[in-house]
Amino acid sequence: MTSTSPETSHVGVDSSTPTWPVLSITDLVVEHRREKTRDLFRAVGGVSLTMQPGDTLGVVGESGSGKTTLAMAATGLGPRTSGRIELLGRDLDTLGKRQLRALRPEVQVVFQDPHGSLDPRQSVRSGFRELRKLQPKRTSWISDTALLEKVRLGPEMLNRYPHQLSGGQAQRVCIARALLMRPRLIVADEPTSGLDVSVQADVLDLLRESLADSGASMLFISHDLAVVQNLCSHVMVMLHGEVVEAGPTASVLSAPRHDYTRKLLDAMPGARWREKQ
């Protein structure tokens, strides 16, 4: 099966800014071998994109569309079959272990399951302390209590363990840990999908405020186009491992070109009203 992105997604390029893209992906292919049949399955086929500093890109698609596989490959946490990935202008294929280790703090991931992301044996304070030991210069910019205040948690949370936190509280702690490293890129993989609707809104507001304060870019993975609409300036729609549509979020929502994008829009409250306008 041949699979190629219909276009390279250039997100928010500002030619007046003399800096490297935060993330650049060229013709990314990820293939997996099925356990039973041992044949190859192409999870991501020929995807390309470019993110500049401050960009917020939402990658949206149904389960199995390849969006999480793309995100994990982009951060070096997942495998890739071919293609080029550059983080902050550094080609991952040319970096040694020491160079990769130095680059990792620039990219932080907020996963779907907050409790699964936290060490059950560590209190919130101990988790912060561990990160500070690993990166003392990078993390000295803020105290633990001030960091918790940024994510709308009180200082009493410092002595709590993951099992003592609600889903929303645990996700806020994960966001705080990411912010502590002052990353240039935050990858958020379905960070609100397991939370109540009201808690989802709070976490999304928190992410929006955090990006505005830090100036970091964000690659946001979601199955929900409505969430992407409220958070991301640009969107990339994936289906069966391929990009079927990409561009500024407002443009994609007002004039979708692909049937699958229109299907996602149909699931959004008020979508038909927007299309008629």
What three-state secondary structure class fits 108? strand
Tell me how crowded residue 277 is: count the other CB atoms within 10 A of its CB: 6
Residue-level pLDDT at 271:
55
Q: Is residue 196 part of a domain?
A: yes
Question: Are the C-beta atoms of 49 and 25 separated by less than 8 Å?
Answer: yes
> Could you list the pLDDT tens digit for every one of the 277 residues in the chain?
323 344 444 443 333 444 689 999 999 999 988 777 778 888 999 999 999 999 999 999 988 899 999 999 988 888 899 999 999 999 998 988 888 888 889 999 999 899 999 999 999 999 999 999 999 999 999 999 999 999 999 999 999 999 999 999 999 999 999 999 999 999 999 988 878 888 888 889 999 999 998 899 999 999 888 889 889 999 999 999 999 999 999 999 889 999 999 998 888 766 553 444 4
Q: Is residue 248 part of a domain?
A: yes
Q: Which domain holds residue 218?
A: 9-276
- Paired sense of beta strands 217-222 and 185-189, if any: parallel
Residue appearing with tokens 């500070």: 132
d(CA 58, CA 56): 7
CATH value at residue 197:
3.40.50.300
Q: How many distinct structural domains can be found in the chain? A: 1
59 DSSP 8-state letter: E
Q: Is residue 62 part of a domain?
A: yes
Structure tokens at 248: 């500024």
Residue appearing with tokens 């929502």: 253
Question: Are the C-beta atoms of 11 and 234 separated by less than 8 Å?
Answer: yes
Tell me how crowded residue 173 is: count the other CB atoms within 10 A of its CB: 26
Question: Are the C-beta atoms of 29 and 267 separated by less than 8 Å?
Answer: no
Question: Are the C-beta atoms of 41 and 218 separated by less than 8 Å?
Answer: no
Residue-level pLDDT at 6:
42
Q: Is residue 141 part of a domain?
A: yes
d(CA 96, CA 239): 34
Q: Is residue 4 part of a domain?
A: no
Amino acid (one-letter) located at 20: W
Tell me how crowded residue 28 is: count the other CB atoms within 10 A of its CB: 24
Q: pTM for the whole thing?
A: 0.86
Q: Is residue 1 part of a domain?
A: no
Q: To which H or E segment does residue 72 belong? A: helix 67-74
Residue-level pLDDT at 273:
37
